[in-house]
Amino acid sequence: MRDIYFNMNTKERRAAIVEHDEVVEFLIERPVEKRIVGNIFVGKVVNVLPGMQAAFVDIGSEKNGFIYRDDLMSFHLLEEDDDTKKKRNISEFVTQGEVVIVQVTKEGVGTKGPRLTSLISLPGRFLVYLPEGGYVGVSRRFSKEEERERLKKIGGELLTGQEGMIIRTVSEGLSKEDIRQELQYLRAFWRELCQRIENGKPPSLIHQDSGLFERIVRDFAHESIGEIWIDHLPDYQQLKRLYKAYPKLDQALRLYRDRENIFSAFGIEKELEKALKRQVWLNNGSYLMIDQTEALTVIDVNTGKFTGKSNLEDTIVKANLEATKEIAKQLRLRDIAGIIVIDFIDMKNEENRELVLKAFKKALTGDRTRTNVVGMTGLGLIELTRKRVRNNLQTSLSKVCPTCHGKGVVLSDEAQAFKIERQLWEYKGGDQEAVVIEIPSKVQAVLVGEKGEHLKRLEAALGFRILIYPNKALKEEAFSIRYAGSLEEAVLRLEQLK
C-alpha cells in the first residue's frame, strides 16, 4: 500500500510517494524547468553525423536534441533483415534541413541535449499506443504467463496496419472491451495530433506530456493507493474533478489544512534532506557512500559500527544483505540512472556472493524504472544500469559548488599559502616597494609563519614589503593581489580594505 503527498503551495510543485512508511520517490515540477520527456515536437535536422550514426535536431530548446539512426521511423519501417539494416548509414534515412516529428525520451543532462525518437508513443492508463510500432508488447511484471499471453492475443486482434501497443501491468484481468475503449481514445488523440503536425512549423511544440496529477493517475494501480494528501485548495478541487471517474482515488483524496508545511508534518522534508547527503547510515550501524558523476555512480558499502556477533564472513554477509535493500531504495529515491557500480564488502565464499546478488535483484523488483543487473565481477563489484528518463534528485535540487567546482575538495591552507607565494615571486625584480594581498584568514597564519619568520624571509628574498589583509568572508582558494607600488600608497590601500 502506498500514500501520495502533494506539496503545491509554491511554484515548485512536489509529490512524494510513501510505501510502508518509507519515502521511495520524489517528483518535482518547476515553471522554469518544464519537464519535456514525452513532449512531441516538429523539429528540423541541423546536423547529421555519420560517424556517430546520429543527428542533431532543433526543437526550439536551449540545446539541440539528438536522435540515433535506430530511433528513426524510416529506419524502423525498412523491411530488411537486421544484419543488412545495421550496415546502413544514418545519411540514408535523414538529411540536413529535413523536417522531422520527434518525441523526447530523455531529459538533457549536463552538456548533452535531450534524446529524441521518431517512434511516437502515447501512454494511457492501461496501454501505451504506438501509431507506427508494428508489435504488441506486454509488461514483464505480470504474475502469470497465461495472463501475458491472453493480453498479447487481445492486443494483436485489436490492432490494424502498422499500429502497435505495450500493455501495462495495471491491465491485469481486463476484458477485451476495456482495452478496446482506451485504444479508440488514443487513436482519436493521435488523429488530432496529426492535424496539429500538418499545421506546425519547425521548431514547434505539438504535444506536452501530462502533468504531475495526470501521471499519478496513469502510472499507479489504483488498488495500491491508500491516501492522497494535498495542501492547496484549488489543486484539491482540480483533483476532485480529475478523479471523479476513479472512485478509488476520489475516496482516497484528503485536503491538508494545517499551517505547518505538509512535507514537514509527515516527515518527508527530513528524508529529502537525507537524500542529498553522500553518506547513508543503515539500521544495523553500517553505511553507504554514494558518489554521483554525470556518467557513473559508485556506491560503497562499509561495515561502520556494525561488528556482528559471530565470525567475520557472517558479519560481512549480514551487512551486505542489509545494504541491498537500502541501495535499491536510494536508487529509486534519488532517481539515479546510467551506469552504477556497487562495491559490496568483499566476501570469500562464492555462495554468499550469489546470495547477496539474488537479494539485490529481489530488492529492485519494486522499482518502476527499468534496471538491468549485469552481475558481479571478479573484484566483487555489482554492475547495473538504470534507465535515465529525467534529471536525478541531486541535479534537480543542487548546483555545482562555486568554490570547489564539483571536485568535492579544496586546496589545504598550506597548499594555498604556497600558491600565493609562487605568484608573489613573479613580482621579484620589479620596481614596486610593497604589495598588498587579500587572502583567507586561515591562510595568513601559514604564509606568515611562526613569529612572522617566514614572511620576513620571503620579503628579504623578494626585495619588497608584503602587506596582508586577512578576510574572513573570503571563499576557499580565493585571494587577490590588490596593489603593487609605493610603500606609502600600499599602507593607505591596506587601511582602506580594513
Q: Tell me: the pLDDT tens digits for 182-209?
A: 899 899 999 999 998 888 888 999 988 8
Return the DSSP state at 225.
E
**Can you give the pLDDT at residue 33?**
56
Tell whether the model's pLDDT for residue 422 goes beyond 60: yes
489, 446 contact by CB (below 8 A):
no
Mean model confidence pLDDT for the chain = 88
Q: Whole-angstrom Cα distance, residue 272 to residue 263? A: 9
Tell whether the model's pLDDT for residue 291 goes beyond 60: yes
Tell whether the model's pLDDT for residue 67 goes beyond 90: yes
Please give the radius of gyration of the chain, using alpha carbons only, rounded to the nearest integer: 30
Return the DSSP state at 294.
S
Which pLDDT tens digit goes with each residue over 316-367? 888 899 999 999 999 999 999 889 999 998 888 889 999 999 999 999 988 8
- Nearest CA to 108 out of 73, 70, 66, 72 is that of 66
Joined grid coordinates for residue 149 = 499471453
Joined grid coordinates for residue 351 = 555462495
Helices and strands: H and E segment counts in the chain: 16, 24
**Can you give the pLDDT at residue 21?**
87
Tell whether the model's pLDDT for residue 439 goes beyond 60: yes
**Can you give the pLDDT at residue 310?**
67
Which pLDDT tens digit goes with each residue over 257-268? 999 999 999 999
Average pLDDT, integer, range 298-311: 80
Q: 2-34+211-270: what CATH class?
A: alpha beta
Tell whether the model's pLDDT for residue 103 goes beyond 80: yes
- More confident: 298 or 294: 298
Q: Which residues neighbour 434 within 8 Å (Cβ) at sequence distance 6 or greater? A: 464, 465, 466, 467, 483, 484, 485, 486, 487, 490, 491
In CATH terms, the fold of domain 120-202 is Ribosomal Protein S5; domain 2 (3.30.230)
**Can you give the pLDDT at residue 359?**
93
Domain boundaries, the chain: 2-34+211-270, 120-202, 276-397, 413-497
Q: Give Cα 413 to chain centroid, integer Å.
A: 35
Q: Which residues neighbour 310 within 8 Å (Cβ) at sequence distance 6 or greater? A: none
Chain length of the chain: 498
Domain spanning 413-497: CATH superfamily = Ribonuclease E, catalytic domain (3.40.1260.20)
CA-CA-CA-CA torsion for 10, 329, 295, 100, nearest 10 degrees?
-60
